[in-house]
A = this chain, B = another copy of it.
Amino acid sequence: MKLQVTQENLSKALSTVGRVATNRGTLPVLANVLIKTIDNRVAISATNLDIAITRYIGSKISEQGAITVPARLVQDFVGSLPSGVIDLKLDEFKLRMKSGSYSSSINGISAEDFPVMPAISDKTAWKLPAKMVKEALQQVVTAASSDEARPVLTGVYIHSYQGQLFMVATDSYRLAEKKLGEAKQDVSLLVPANAMQDLLRIVSDSNDDVEILHDDQQVMFTVGEVELVTRLIEGNYPDYRKLIPKSFNTTAKLKKQEFASITKVASLFARESAGSVVVSADESDKALQVRSVASQLGENTSKADADVTGEGEITLNSRYLIDVLSVLNGSDVEFCFNGKLEPSLIRDPKQDDYLHVIMPLKS
């Protein structure tokens, strides 16, 4: 292998894929990135066996070839080089890299040892705008569970329902649902949330469409020059729609920033009680109140002006409130609930394609 790439392109590709490389696995090659010529491009890839990411970059290639080298070292090295052309040359298993007065030799592992994801068969392909995917992922991914005891809840469920396409996640304590518009075919994909976190980083950088190609086992997202392949999670997603309350005894409409501020302040006092705060609203008071449960440290009560219908209170995990308030887009927010035992709902009153449900805590 012998080729030239620009520092900018190689550095960008290494930082796109490098995050997936891992030192924690048992296979040393998983800590490496694969550098491989394919016709007149170079593919830079990393995988942790669940997820594989590849970025293609243009290159002047004099000799085809492939090698894997330690991801962190090569990323730090290329990131430290001045901009301009880098010469790469493979010498047995040593990758020699030269740029101006910087010259290094990195010990690699054979490209044949690098695990390849199985090809996707029975292909179904469709597209979504990057901007839509980015917003949906930001609003949905945090609600997924990280507890491997219930694998289906560690996924983001992309599916069609009554002709509409939805993206949903829930860890059983909270639930986020985004409507993505009309579904052009039947879809039911359960994608690992950490792959979706990687996809979010990739789409954040891009204005391209996201192309989605899948079979029963795997899905590949293509965004410009980047491909992300991940296995799908097996199992049936819970029938989450029945958890979403349809009517409410109490509704408060207020400024999103104020709701976030009073919740953050109350959460400071709620460290001993795992973040639990009491949210209450009263029509006659024209305010929403967040109160931390009295603790060894002290207690706090803060209020924000609100348009309130009805009255009542509910105990919630303040972290879940803070999470959803940070991903809503508008300046106003509507908080709706039915007493202490039923799920509460948060939404932007001006945006009907997103809703977020938070289960109450026992108080």
Nearest chain B CB to A252 CB, angstrom units: 14
Residues of B within 8 A of A284 (CB): none
Residues of B within 8 A of A296 (CB): 107
0 or 1 for each of A276-314: is its CB under 8 Å from B? (1 = yes): 000000000001000000001111111110000000000
In angstroms, Cα B300 to Cα A104, docked, is 4
Q: Is the CB of B300 within 8 A of A102?
A: yes
Q: Is A106 an interface residue (CB 8 A)?
A: yes
Q: Is the CB of A73 within 8 A of B304?
A: no
Can you list 8 residue pairs at the A/B interface with Cβ under 8 Å?
Answer: A77-B269, A80-B264, A80-B268, A101-B287, A101-B302, A102-B300, A102-B302, A105-B299
Q: Is A360 an interface residue (CB 8 A)?
A: no
Q: Is the CB of B103 within 8 A of A302?
A: yes
Contact of A104 among B73, B104, B298 (CB under 8 A): B298
In angstroms, Cα B81 to Cα A9, docked, is 45
Q: Is A94 an interface residue (CB 8 A)?
A: yes
Spell out A's residues near B (CB within 8 Å).
70, 73, 76-77, 80-82, 94-95, 101-107, 261-262, 264-265, 268-269, 287, 296-304
Known: A102-B265, A105-B299. 7 other contacts (CB 8 A): A73-B298, A101-B262, A102-B300, A103-B302, A105-B298, A106-B297, A107-B298
* A294 to chain B: closest residue by CB: B105
Residues of B within 8 A of A300 (CB): 77, 102-105
Q: Is the CB of A104 within 8 A of B299?
A: yes
Contact of A70 among B77, B261, B297 (CB under 8 A): B297
- Most chain-B CB neighbours within 10 Å: which of A70, A80, A104, A300? A104
Whether A80 touches B261, Cβ cut-off 8 Å, given contacts A73-B268, A269-B73, A269-B104, is yes
Contact of A81 among B77, B265, B287, B304 (CB under 8 A): B265
In angstroms, Cα B242 to Cα A286, docked, is 76
Residues of B within 8 A of A265 (CB): 77, 80-81, 102, 104
Contact of A106 among B80, B81, B298 (CB under 8 A): B298
In angstroms, Cα B306 to Cα A135, docked, is 52
- Most chain-B CB neighbours within 10 Å: which of A76, A297, A303? A297
